[in-house]
Structure 1
Amino acid sequence: MNNLGANYERISEVLRKISNENLLPYQRRTPKLKDLELISLAL
């Protein structure tokens, strides 16, 4: 993980191809990150 930004972009691109949904249908608070953004950052 030399370049966090580059890794994030690559993983995020793949996840966007797999899933069309960015957020869960119902959330009480407005999240700071979309679900796919959070997953790609965690990976």
Structure 2
Amino acid sequence: MHDECLEIENKCFVENCSKCDIDQPNSCQECKAGFNLTKDHQC
């Protein structure tokens, strides 16, 4: 994965999944999984 792609991924992840609920760690995994579905298209 190119550095530019990593930067885009990190920015999007921070914007879309800025914090994981400690009481519900699954919410973070679901958010990341959902983002992973779109990152390949973006890159």
Provide TM-score, normalisation by structure 2: 0.43
Structure with greater helix percent: 2
Provide TM-score, normalisation by structure 1: 0.43
